[in-house]
């Protein structure tokens, strides 16, 4: 078990959806301001800014790299470093691991991590083509018509083949997420969804149907990571960073040799050991989705289903409101919306929100420990992070 | 307005022999002359020993479907007229994997574990030939 060195003490988020009139900068500074105020800080208390990658606008991303947020938020000559962290969908876990290490080494005391993007306002075909290049090999995969929905489909097929998971169980993941999203004012999709609605939607890439494919959205979220020693003086219930494990398994999905598991079992073992917290002591799972197969694979790898198959566990309602293991209570990328790199950031910020006791109608009772997962590109890596209301 | 062009491979110095072989209807696999590692896809250096002494050997052209999907809607630009088409990851009998398409009789009902045999598809209007796969004939 590792001594705890950092905690999240403030969060901010703007609603996810299609907001063509809201600029990425507007969303970024609004979410950042909320996080700084939530932590009870002023801008000059922040000593580092780690903006994560934005995909829709190269110009905006260059602004993020070149300290625009420091200037906009009043941190000129007080921030020591502005540095972009980018690991695609895995950036949530990755930026938290980097922030935790910077604080552990005494490089920083209070770090602002922020995401903003407007991939939802791209024309539909531009969105498809953008994500057909994120971890898809131009030479060896794109010529065969490969694309992001096919990535989810290829993994679904192999996972179903190896585990016996059914199409209805994949659909149950979407239904569980939607039940949580209906309680989340920041979510894009808040109307009721049934297994039949999912199974009756148009086939996109077998076995995936339209309602099993995420919708691109605009959004922004931010959080403040602080030295664990001072976290309690800023925040009533900080979310302590307890452990992290990860493994890169491929760049192109066609080179993945264990597509039904990826690196989640290894990452989970490492994270649980570092945290000194095992699967039986987890009360909340904030699981990166984007397609329904990934939460199932992650639940298996994290050993969270009490020996049951993840598909059966989710179909029995265990991850829905009222279930024994609330999962991805913001609705995930399938119902809150896929904001690019930020889909994972929102899933992680929701875990912080729950641990900080600020989840409103979605608040999970008797919560102590939570697990967060993420993966980038074509699920190139498997990240597992353990968070807690208690420091070690 | 002309239809969008499908993406085509832009060979590198080290992958050019693979695509040239495909034009000659041969499937080849890169091999490290230093450690004998079979490499797919072709790399600049051997990922096992980092040697630059790499060559190519003939593949049998047979393997099995590791996973697959039939793209029914929402394809990337350039593939609109090809729907539905089958994207598959093939595990070759040499124990390396590659992405390709399944074409021909039975393609739309192909399953994981089915045996496949390489074929070659010239992309119309280009000098690119793509290695694709058909379901193997029953013995
Ligand atoms: Zn070698």
pLDDT tens across B69-110, in order? 999 999 999 999 999 999 999 999 999 999 999 999 999 999
Q: Residue A385: its pLDDT value, please?
A: 98
pLDDT tens figures, A290-303: 999 999 999 999 99
Distance from CA of B34 to the nearest CA of A (A): 22
Q: Please state the length of chain A.
A: 392
- Which segments of A292-390 are extended strands (E)? 369-374, 381-388
Interface of A with B (CB under 8 A): 125, 128-129, 132, 137-147, 149-150, 153-158, 161, 202-208, 210, 213, 252-255, 257, 259
Among A150, A154, A377, A144, which residue's Cα sits nearest to residue A251? Answer: A377
Closest CA in chain B for residue A213: B74
Give per-residue burial for A178-213: e unless 16+ CB within 10 Å, then b: bbbbbbbebbbbbeebebebbeebebbbbbbbbbbb
Q: What is the mean pLDDT of residues A32-60?
A: 97
* Choice among A16-25, A131-140, A183-192 with the minimum mean pLDDT: A131-140
Torsion (CA) A69, A71, A74, A79 in degrees, nearest 10: 80
Q: What are phi and psi of A259, to 5 degrees?
A: -70, -15
Strands (E), A161-234: 203-205, 208-209, 218-227
- List pLDDT tens digits, range A179-198: 999 999 999 999 999 999 99
Which residue, among B95, B25, B104, B24, has the nearest Cα to B62 in the 3D structure?
B95
Task: Place A128 in a pLDDT band, splitting at 50, 70 and 90.
Answer: confident
Distance A299 CA to ligand 1 centre (A): 37
- Asked if pLDDT for residue B1 goes beyond 60, the answer is no
User: What pLDDT score does A361 carry?
Assistant: 96
How far apart CA A259 and CA B82 sit, in angstroms, is 27
Q: In the predicted model, what is the mean pLDDT of residues A199-203? A: 97
Question: Can you say how many angstroms the Cα of residue A134 is from the centroid of all Cα atoms in its chain?
Answer: 17
CA distance A333 to A288: 8
Report the pLDDT value the prediction gives residue A116, as an integer from 0 to 100.
Answer: 98
Phi, psi (5° rounding) for residue B133? -130, 150
Tell me the pLDDT tens digit for each residue of A224-243. 999 999 999 999 999 999 99
The reported pLDDT for the residue numbered A313 is 98
Smallest CA–CA distance, residue A133 to chain B, in Å, is 10
Closest residue of chain A to B69, computed from CA coordinates: A206
- If pLDDT is split at 50, 70 and 90, which confidence band does A132 have? confident
Distance (Å, whole) CA A153 – CA A387: 31
Percent of chain B with pLDDT over 70: 96
Query: Which residues is A209 bridged to in the sheet?
Result: A203
Contact A371, A319 (CB under 8 A): no
Cβ distance A84 to A50 under 8 Å?
A: yes
Closest Cβ opposite residue B7 in set A142, A153, A206: A142
Percent with pLDDT over 70 in chain A: 100
The strand pair at A381-388 and A239-248 is best described as antiparallel
**What is the pLDDT at residue A96?**
98
Nearest chain A Cα distance for residue B57, angstroms:
18
Cβ(B119)–Cβ(B103) under 8 Å? Answer: yes
Q: Tell me the pairing of strands A208-209 and A203-205.
A: antiparallel
> What pLDDT is recorded for position A134?
86
Contact A292, A171 (CB under 8 A): yes
Q: What average pLDDT score do residues A372-389 get?
A: 97
CA of B41 to the centre of ligand 1 (A): 14
Give the pLDDT confidence score for residue B2 in this predicted structure. Answer: 61
By CB atoms closer than 10 A (0-12, 13-18, 19+), residue B125 is: exposed
Would you state the pLDDT for residue B88?
Answer: 98
Alpha carbon distance A140, A34 (integer Å): 44
Tell me the β-bridge partners of A241. Answer: A387
What is the model's pLDDT at position A141?
A: 97
Q: How far is CA A232 from its chain centroid? A: 25
Q: Please, which pLDDT band fits residue A129 given cuts at 50, 70 and 90? A: confident
Q: Please determine, for residue B138, whether its predicted confidence score (pLDDT) is greater than 80.
A: no
- Confidence tier at B139 by pLDDT (50, 70, 90): low
C-alpha distances in Å from residue B119, one per residue of A125, A330, B115 = 31, 47, 13
Q: How far is CA B72 from the centre of its chain?
A: 21
> Does residue B3 have a pLDDT over 80?
no
Residue A169 phi/psi, 5-degree rounding, is: -70, -35
Structure confidence at residue B68 as a pLDDT band (50, 70, 90): very high
Instruction: Sort strands A369-374 and B129-135 into parallel, antiparallel or unpaired.
Output: unpaired
Two structure tokens written together for A2: 């590792």
- Report pTM: 0.97
């Amino acid at each position: 078990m590792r001594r705890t060195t950092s905690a999240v003490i403030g969060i901010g988020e703007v609603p996810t959806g299609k907001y063509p009139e809201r600029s990425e900068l507007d969303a970024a500074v609004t979410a950042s301001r909320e996080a700084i105020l939530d932590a009870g800080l002023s801008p000059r208390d922040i000593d580092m800014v780690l903006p994560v990658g934005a995909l829709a606008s190269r110009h905006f991303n260059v602004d993020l790299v070149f300290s625009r947020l420091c200037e906009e938020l009043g941190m000129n000559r007080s921030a020591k470093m502005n540095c972009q962290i980018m690991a695609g969908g895995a950036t949530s876990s990755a930026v938290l691991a980097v922030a935790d290490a910077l604080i552990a080494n005494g490089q920083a005391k209070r770090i602002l991590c922020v995401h903003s993007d407007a991939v939802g306002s791209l024309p539909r075909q531009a969105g498809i083509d953008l994500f057909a290049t994120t971890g898809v090999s131009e030479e060896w995969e794109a010529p065969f018509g490969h694309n992001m929905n096919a990535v989810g489909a290829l993994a679904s097929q192999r996972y179903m083949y190896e585990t016996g998971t059914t199409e209805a169980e994949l659909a149950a993941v979407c239904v569980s997420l939607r039940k949580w999203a209906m309680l989340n004012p920041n979510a894009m999709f808040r109307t009721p969804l049934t297994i039949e609605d999912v199974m009756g939607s148009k086939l996109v890439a077998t076995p995936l149907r339209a309602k099993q494919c995420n919708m691109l959205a605009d959004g922004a979220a931010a959080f403040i990571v602080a030295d664990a020693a001072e976290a309690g003086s800023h925040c009533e219930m900080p979310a302590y960073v307890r452990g992290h494990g990860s493994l890169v398994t491929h760049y192109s999905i066609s080179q993945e040799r264990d597509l039904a598991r990826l690196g989640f079992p290894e990452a989970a073992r490492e994270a649980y050991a570092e945290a000194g917290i095992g699967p039986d002591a987890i009360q909340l799972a904030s699981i990166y989705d984007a397609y329904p197969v990934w939460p199932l694979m992650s639940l298996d790898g994290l050993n969270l289903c009490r020996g049951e198959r993840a598909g059966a566990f989710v179909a029995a309602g265990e991850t829905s409101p009222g279930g024994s293991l609330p999962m991805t209570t913001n609705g995930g990328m399938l119902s809150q919306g896929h904001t690019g790199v930020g889909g994972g950031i929102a899933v992680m910020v929701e875990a912080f929100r729950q641990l900080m006791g600020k989840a409103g109608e979605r608040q999970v009772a008797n919560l102590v420990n939570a697990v967060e997962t993420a993966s980038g590109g074509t699920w190139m890596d498997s990240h597992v992070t353990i968070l807690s209301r208690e420091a070690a | 307005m002309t239809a969008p062009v499908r993406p085509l491979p832009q060979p590198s110095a080290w992958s050019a022999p693979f695509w040239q072989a495909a034009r000659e209807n041969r499937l080849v696999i890169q091999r490290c002359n230093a450690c004998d590692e079979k490499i797919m896809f072709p790399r600049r250096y051997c990922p096992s020993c980092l040697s630059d002494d790499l060559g190519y050997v003939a593949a049998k052209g047979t393997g099995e479907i590791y996973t697959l999907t039939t793209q029914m809607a929402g394809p990337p630009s350039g593939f609109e007229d090809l729907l539905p088409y089958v994207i598959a990851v093939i595990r070759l009998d040499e124990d390396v994997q590659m992405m390709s398409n399944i074409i021909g009789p039975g393609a739309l009902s192909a399953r994981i574990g089915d045996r496949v045999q390489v074929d070659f598809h010239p992309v119309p209007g280009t000098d690119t030939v793509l290695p694709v796969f058909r379901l193997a004939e029953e013995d």
